[in-house]
Amino acid sequence: MTQQQRASVARLSVIMAWLSTAGFVISPLALAYAFLDPDHSQWMMFHYEHGGVSLSSEQPLQFRLIALVCALVATGFTMWALWALRRLFLLYARGSVFSAEALAALNHVAVALFAGVIVAFAMQAPISLALTWPRGEHHREISLSFGSGDVVTLFMAGVVLVIARVMGEAQRVADENAKFV
């Protein structure tokens, strides 16, 4: 890789680290805003619906807060993935591509993405129950859904995990070859 290519990768990595940091901060704030002020947060095009009940200020705040806490559990995994990406990009910016730290960060991204899908799926039940609780007895619902976005995220987590393992093996072979010289 030429010096110009390294500089280009470093610049791009710093930009991606900043974007990952922004996502890390914005994700939970946007989610909280959507649950706390659902009538005014629709400009974000964040549509949250469970059990046929759209998130609105008509739902009592205490039930929206319960749903928010559950949703934040899954968002925590998104934040973990974004923080690991930030770390990975900062390592790349320093030229540390095949280091143990870079491979660990890449593995953390894969695990966080995978776990995030599983946790988000599991959190749908308490979220839907909280949002439908005010309907009263015999009208409360528990819903679960698994969509194409979840499949894509699981696939991407698998791809990242395989890339991390391939990079780890490449580093192991390079280290082994360096010992023979």
The per-residue pLDDT for range 121-169, each reduced to its tens digit, is 999 999 989 998 988 888 888 888 888 888 999 999 999 999 988 988 8
- Report residue 142 CA to chain centroid gap: 24
Scan for tokens 């791809």, then name that residue. Answer: 159
Cα–Cα nearest to 109, from 165, 30, 169, 151 = 165
Q: Given this model, what pLDDT does residue 106 score?
A: 94
Q: Assign 181 to helix, strand or coil.
A: coil
Neighbours of 102 (CB within 10 A): 22
Q: Residues 53-81: pLDDT tens digits? A: 577 788 899 999 999 999 999 999 999 99
CA 68 – CA 146 distance, rounded (Å): 19
Residue 138 DSSP one-character state: T
Q: Output the pTM of the full model.
A: 0.85
